[in-house]
Amino acid sequence: MSELVDQARQWIDGDPDPTTRAELTALIESGDHTELADRMDGGLDFGTAGLRGLMGAGSNRINRATVIRTTRGLADYLVDRYGGVPENPVVVGRDARVGSSVFMGDVVGVLLGAGLSVKVWEEVVPTPLLAYAVTASGACAGVMITASHNPPLYNGYKVFDHNGAQIIPPVDTAIAEAIDRVAPAITVPYHHPSADLMAEPIPPQVLDDYRNRLSRLRTPLETDPDQGIVYTPLHGVGWRYIKDLFAEAGYRNVHPVEPQIEPDGRFPTLPFPNPEEPGAMDLAIARAEETDADLVLANDPDADRLGVAVPSASGWVRLTGNQIGVLLIDHLLSRSDLPSHPPPLIVSTIVSSPLAERVAHAHGARFETTLTGFKWIMKAALDVESTGQGTFVFGFEEALGYAIGGLNRDKDGLSAALLMADLSSEARREGQTILDRLESIYRRHGLWVSVQKGIVRPGPEGAVEIESAMTYLGNHPPDSLGEKKVGSVTDYRKGADSRPAWLGAANLIALELPGGGRMLARPSGTEPKLKIYMDATRPLAIADDPARIESVMVREAETAVSELVDHIGL
């Protein structure tokens, strides 16, 4: 234990923040070596998503020392990449989480201390707008202080490359190696903004340009100004921007969820500010019932994701990310002004519904499948466009992330919200609802259901269990699942050289099922769990009741998933 205590004292000596120094000192004095070990268990791993973790003292937490060393490592990487201090700035922004303002100040101070120029979004800002500002400002990189939809005790550090997309390998590895070479945070050169050297504000023209470009990308239609819309930013930063976007688009009947519209990193009305979580949209749905609204829209706290709920005969229904994705694909590809040469390009991840590919192909679009993560969606979009073999129109992942081609190179919950309002408006003009549109897609391409299950196995022993289960599945796939025979098996741990870069090596195994269905298994990249995804499909006859058949299919899919869990011994 003396080695652990010595390690903690070394960290304290290098920490410039008296608050976290005192926090770790008190932990040493308390004798709680279990908690101390957790705080000092290596460090947060810098990857393609940057950093994300609990705030607090220690090398395994988000704190000022972590942010300072990470920023110096990023600065050193940029100087090395550009063969000297880059002429173009780094753009920096933050969400409204506790600590984000201080961390952003550290990012700016360290970048200035390294001799780089900096542009900052002075107010709290949605992540998609920071990403947009990277390309709009001609920046060499972007840094966003955010933990997106994580609980209130988390924060994070997200890095964008010069093209406005998330970093991908080998850039993440090069930055991580540069961070490892940085001395203790207290020794890192730091320039407090002054009259002779300070960050420039990002000009308002960047936001104006975003709005104008989004307006040009929307499907030409007459906005239904009377459509009732309820919106919540879940205590995040979205309301100010959504309010203006919707007003400019002509939507005047928009009702915010008052207890949740102000940015508040404590998230006082909900423990998990994620639109995917059960209960996260309850206040918004209650507001919709009060106002007799037609549509509920919810952004997560940094407004890069979008949740949607719609009314039905039996009450309000939350749409899944797959349902929102295929609705928007169908909506965008129905435009008469889309060019056919090169063809429109739709991109989605391997764990998203195969229905997306069917809808895209029915419209004559090219479709690309990627590994999980928006970084790979944009890798595919940029690479295909660079060869002249497609024009990127839309990308999505089932975890409520969407991007419109020609606007942003990361997921964008603001533009997706406006497109869903447009889709609903168009359906209303035709005497339909969003659920009618979804049923129409199902009748053309088959009814699809998606089921997910996570098997949690914490600790080092759990990691071994999960990896053993993956190895067993790869070597001994089942012959059948439920009443369906298993067809081909693809082990994405192998054969990466024969696939495009955006669908390379991954710890993922896919089992193909009849009719286009499939089962996927992969370890989570952020949690101690094995994630299993099942997608099943069935044609719909004219007389079929989609709701009844869907409930049967979901039960069958859940049974098949349970069979797979038993088969791999978890």
CB 482 within 8 A of CB 556: yes
Residues 6+ apart with CB under 8 A from 433: 310, 311, 424, 427
Enclosing H/E stretch for 255: strand 254-256
- Tokens for 534? 């099942």
Largest Cα separation within the chain, whole Å, is: 74
Residues 6+ apart with CB under 8 A from 521: 469, 470, 473, 508, 509, 530, 531, 532, 533, 564, 568
Beta bridge partners of 564: none
First to last CA, the chain: 34
Cα atoms in the Cβ-side hemisphere of radius 13 Å centred on 447:
18
281-294 residues labelled b (16+ CB within 10 A) or e (exposed): bebbbebbeeeebb
CB 145 within 8 A of CB 127: no
Q: Which of 148, 353, 415, 424 is catalytic?
A: 148
Q: Quick check: is 314 catalytic?
A: no
Q: Which of 212, 279, 265 is nearest to 237 (CA)?
A: 265
Q: What is the DSSP letter of 518?
A: E
Pairing of strands 447-456, 401-404: unpaired
Rg (CA), the chain: 24
CA 145 to chain CA centroid, Å, is 14
- Measure the CA–CA gap between 46 and 41, rounded to whole angstroms: 15
Q: Which of 380, 328, 321 is nearest to 533 (CA)?
A: 321
Q: Residue 547: helix, strand or coil by DSSP?
A: helix
Active site residues: 148
